[in-house]
Amino acid sequence: MASLDSGRVPRKRKRLFLSRAVPVVLALAVQIAFVYVVVTVVQRNFYAFYFLSVFVSIVITLWILSSSNNPAYKITWIVPILVFPLFGALFYLFWGSDRLARKMRRKLNAKTVHICEALPELQLPAPGEGGEIDTRMDGVSRHVSRYLHRYAKSPVWENTQTEYLALGELKLRRLLEELEKAERYIFMEYYIIEPGEMWNAILSVLERKAKAGVDVRVIYDDYGCMRTLPASFPKELREKGIQCAVFNPIRPVLSAYINSRDHRKITVIDGIAAFTGGINLADEYINRVDKYGHWKDVSIFLLGDAAWSFTVMFLGMWEYLVGTKDTFSNYRPSAPLQPFPESTGFVQPFADRPMDGESVGENVYLSLIHRAEDYLYITTPYLIIGNELTVALSLAAKGGTDVRIITPHRGDNFFIHAATRAYYKQLVESGVKIYEYTPGFIHSKSFVADDSYAVVGTINMDFRSLYLHFECGVWLYKTDTVMEIKNDFLKTLEACGQITKETLADMPFLERFVGRIMRILSPLL
């Protein structure tokens, strides 16, 4: 593959971002300024209105305190509401509350029944309820699998080969191979798509397959693609015979909708092959563009029965966005899959969405942290965690578990990276070993523990990913890829520098100061 002009792509991205973002940002700024001016002027001229605004702020504060939201999220909003009476409350209602997203919640919850109907495996006993599968699972795996079965509507599968892809370049090569095999349909759902070497290679196959009669559909998040795609992109795909749906098209209106983003990365082919992981469809993910040094990311490829869970995930989102209702069973493989003699262990794909009141991704992470005994290895681009994860990681390390975390040495955002580093001190002092990937930016999201358990997916360790985004992942138990994930972690560790108390003391004062401020604001990042 020929190398791209690494300078030209950022310039194009900047022009595109400005053309799409500037009108939206200006419109939002005008709305915020207008609300602030109106509230301030009225308060200064009418004492009764001022006291009314204080009363409203107190009511909103009590409402927030009584909600089931994360405590850190509550505190982050309560402070500005009390400091700026009424204006802070109004801004919360527009931006922080899920009141305006209730329509989205109702629509998505209505799809749950349809999704369960497409997964008859959910009618079987959950792990730990006396089924045949229990005899081949240990207590840790039964606990996590039972939780995913009951609360994430995610059945556990066998008869599935798994392949761990340790770099974006490997994922692209494997993806192109599988796309060429498509006979019935190709479904792709990504947070970021950007024209370039990676996407153009994929698009060439998609266009050719669509002309051959394959049902090709693409979903992308408009916020994630604001810098990379023009507003006309759906029309361009449709002209090529590719169906397209956009999650949360950006509008210049204050709304809580913008807090919910589709952060999933899914490709499903004919209901038997599926990919997920941290890799988006842009050239930095295959190191054809140098943004922050070497880009380290991973993906997991499933071949077999478990791919059906990702098919159902995609179709559920497609129905929500397009407003149609498909018969999901029409997309199941036309013939039962033959047993894969090489397949081992159990595979459990799961979805996490912000509207169901269940923090699936965080709970899976917490379960693994609490139950890991020998070691727990984690890779994450952002370590901006709440009290629950901080205490769990610290307690695991204090209890003798070898807890190691790899984060980027070069961040993709100064403020976000400063917030990540602000969590180092407490964790390091508790015995957690933290390393930074010195060649550049690590974007993978993986957990592996005790040579038996692993999670690979799209879920970052930050508030937005754990509570506000649509995410997905794969829980793995005793598959061959578990050891591959462990070995890749140890290999990556060789290119990392460990964070010590001395390292922390040598960090620039400005970065430490900014980190502390951003840590306070972390639920809003």
Residue 146 forms part of a structural domain: no
pLDDT greater than 50 at residue 8:
no
Residue 455 contacts residue 405 (beta carbons within 8 Å): no
Q: Are residues 258 and 124 in the same domain?
A: yes
In this structure, which amino acid lies at residue 196? G
Inside any domain, residue 353? no
Extract the tokens encoding 253: 């209106």
User: What pLDDT band is residue 4 in, cutting at 50, 70 and 90?
Assistant: very low
Structural domain includes residue 143: no
For the chain, percent of residues with pLDDT exceeding 90: 52
Q: Spot the catalytic one: 74, 171, 265, 409.
A: 265
Choose among 343, 382, 356: nearest CA to 481.
343
* 482 in the same domain as 405: yes
The residue-averaged pLDDT of 5-27 equals 58
Q: pLDDT category, 251, cuts 50, 70, 90?
A: confident
Tell me if 145 is assigned to some domain. no
Q: Where are the beta strands (DSSP E) in 278-388?
A: 294-296, 299-304, 346-352, 375-379, 383-384
Per-residue pLDDT at 273: 96
Q: What is the mean pLDDT of the chain?
A: 85
Domain ranges, residue 453:
360-524
Domain final position from 345, 376, 407: 345
Q: Give me the pLDDT at residue 491, please.
A: 97
Q: Is residue 354 part of a domain?
A: no
CATH, residue 254? 3.30.870.10
Residues 321 and 457 reside in one and the same domain: no
501 an active-site residue?
Answer: no
Together in a domain, 372 and 292: no
Mean pLDDT over residues 326-338, rounded? Answer: 81
Same domain, 49 and 63: yes
Identity at 368, one-letter amino acid code: L
Catalytic residue among 221, 270, 305, 488: 270
Active-site pick, 409, 443, 469, 486: 443
**DSSP secondary structure of 375-417:** EEEEE-S-EE--HHHHHHHHHHHHTT-EEEEEEESS-SSHHHH
My answer on whether 180 and 74 are in the same domain is no
Query: In terms of domains, do 387 and 516 share one?
Result: yes
In angstroms, the CA 367 to CA 443 distance is: 22
Look at residue 7 and tell me whether its pLDDT is greater than 60: no
Residue 443 a catalytic site member: yes
List pLDDT tens digits, range 417-432.
888 998 999 999 999 9
**Quick one: 310 and 232 in the same domain?**
yes
450 an active-site residue? yes
- Residue 166: the pLDDT is 97
- Choosing from 74, 417, 445, 486, the catalytic residue is 445
Asked if residue 141 is part of any domain, the answer here is: no
Active site residue 270: yes
Q: Which of 45, 70, 97 is the last residue of a domain?
A: 97
User: How many domains does the chain divide into?
Assistant: 3
Residues 166 and 227 in one domain: yes
> Are residues 319 and 200 part of one domain?
yes
In this structure, are 309 and 419 located in the same domain?
Answer: no
**Please, which pLDDT band fits residue 387 given cuts at 50, 70 and 90?**
confident
In a domain? residue 144 = no
What is the model's pLDDT at position 180? Answer: 97
Q: With 50 as the cut, is the pLDDT of residue 3 above it?
A: no
The alpha-carbon radius of gyration of the chain (Å, integer) is: 23
Contact 84, 239 (CB under 8 A): no
- Asked whether residue 107 is assigned to any structural domain, the reply reads yes
pLDDT in tens, 44-103: 666 666 677 777 777 777 777 766 666 666 777 777 777 766 666 666 766 665 554 566
Q: Which of 257, 263, 69 is nearest to 60 (CA)?
A: 69
Question: Annotated catalytic, 374?
Answer: no
**Domain match, 183 and 314 both:** yes
Given a cut of 60, whether residue 10 has pLDDT beyond it is no
Confidence (pTM):
0.86
For residue 260, the SS3 value is coil
Q: Is 293 left (phi over 0), alpha (psi -120 to 50) or beta?
A: left
Of 345, 378, 405, which one is at a domain's C-terminal end? 345
Catalytic position from the list 262, 283, 352, 450: 450
Active site residue 445: yes
Query: Which of the following is catalytic: 153, 209, 263, 417?
Result: 263
Checking if the pLDDT of 451 tops 60, the result is yes
The pLDDT score that the predictor gives to residue 310 is 97
